[in-house]
Structure 1
Amino acid sequence: MYHRITEIAKSIIKKFVNHFFTPSQIFFQDMPTRWGSCTIKDKLIFNPKLIHTPKRCIEYVVMHELCHMIHKHHNDNFFKLLTLMTPDWEKRKYKLNTYL
């Protein structure tokens, strides 16, 4: 079931690794208020319900969590990196919010 998310994540991770480093692990966990999470040990966790969203939304969530590996908080540096890696992230986030 999560194969689609994992495949999309692997593709995004390859792009990210060219500039930074790779996450330690990828997991799936039901989260009532989040699409994804990044632990202090760089483990990425994705909400299985993400499978019901478009590919561009999944790509956004993956990149968002990868950016947290570099900048743990939603500060200016985080959003600069997210914009560099996914320039249209705001459109993707808006679309993703329609699935809440």
Structure 2
Amino acid sequence: MNAKYYYLVDNDIGKIKIVQKNGLKNFNIRLKPFEVVTISSPASASKKQISNVIARKKKWILEKQAFNKSIEQKRTVFEHRTTIKTFFNQFTIEQKDTDRMRLKGKRPEYVIAVPENFDIKNPAFQSGIKNIIDYVLKDEASRYLPERTKELARRYKFRYNNLTFRNNKTRWGSCSTRGNISLNIQLMRLPAMMIDYVIIHELCHTIHPNHGQGFKKLLYSILPEAPHIEKEMKNFRTQIY
């Protein structure tokens, strides 16, 4: 489905992404934590029609934004003695007599040493800690996810094109119309069954590009426990450790 997009700003809502798609008949509004408000509209829709949709749905959008904000405010703040567990490793953050931030230890137990005379909650240190963890997550993802994806594809007779890794703010995975699968390195913070769920979810998209009944039937035939996993995954966020 071909699409083009642009941005507009509403005084109350803020930045809104407008995606106009050929073949789309109705307006769809997407609101997720850590994401800009996105409205998908028919390609033929005028700016006045889009403005009318925004005006009509504004109260609901603002309520949803407030809810999302409560989730965004839970974004992890790393502190002294914070422990972060990944699929293969564990990190403990400690303030030590060091001149700069360092990664110490070895697999599976690491220490992220932060200078004790600096404010650990300083945004620069928070970003640095996250970058160190993400560096190890990327290594874990490259070691584990390719073989696991191949194994599940063989088991359930799927074929995909390329597999890549990203560090997205919201999506755990995606699949293009050409069968290219992208997986988030943050998957390596999830339990094994959830990692498998995301991989199988994207493999199903190689056959059904949308989330229609055909997609759900295929996914649930492979993973009857998928509804339970989907419910559990709502407790996990890429930006919340």
How big is each residue's C-alpha offset from its partner over 1:4-55, in whole Å with a ceiling of 9 and x where there is no partner? 22232222111122xxx41111110111111000011101100000001011
Say which SS state the counterpart of residue 28 (structure 1) adopts.
Answer: strand
What does residue 61 of structure 1 align with?
A: 198
Partner Cα separation in structure 2 for residue 7 and residue 52 of structure 1: 18
The equivalent of 2:227 in structure 1 is 90
Task: Decide whether the 8 Å contact of 1:16 with 1:66 is kept in 2.
Answer: no
Match of 1:46 in 2: 183
Q: Which of the residues 125, 138, 146 maps onto 1:6? A: 146
Bigger fraction of residues in helix: 1
Q: Secondary structure at the match of 1:70?
A: coil
Q: d(CA) in 2 for partners of 1:6 and 1:56? A: 16
Distance 2:215 2:147 in 1: 24
Matches of 2:150 and 2:233 in 1, distance apart? 20
Residue type at the aligned position of 2:152 = I
Give every structure 1 segment of 4 or more consecutive aligned residues whose post-TM-superposition deviation is greater than 4 Å: none
Q: Tell me, which stretches of 5 or more residues in structure 2 are unaligned?
A: 1-139
Q: Helix, strand or coil: the match of 2:205?
A: helix
Structure whose CA Rg is larger: 2
| CA distance, structure 2, for counterparts of residue 49 and residue 77 of structure 1 | 28
1:95 is displaced (CA, Å) by 2.1
Q: Which has the higher contact order (CA 8 A, sep 6+)?
A: 1
Q: Which runs of 5+ in 1 are unaligned?
A: none
1:77 aligns with 2:214: yes
Counting strand residues as a fraction of each chain, which structure ranks higher? 2
Amino acid at match of 1:33: T
Question: % of aligned pairs identical?
Answer: 30
Q: Distance in 2 between matches of 1:16 and 1:34?
A: 23
Q: Which amino acid aligns with 1:59?
A: D
TM-score, normalisation: structure 2: 0.39
Give the total of aligned pairs.
97
TM-score by length of 1: 0.89
What RMSD, in angstroms, separates the aligned Cα atoms of the two structures?
1.2
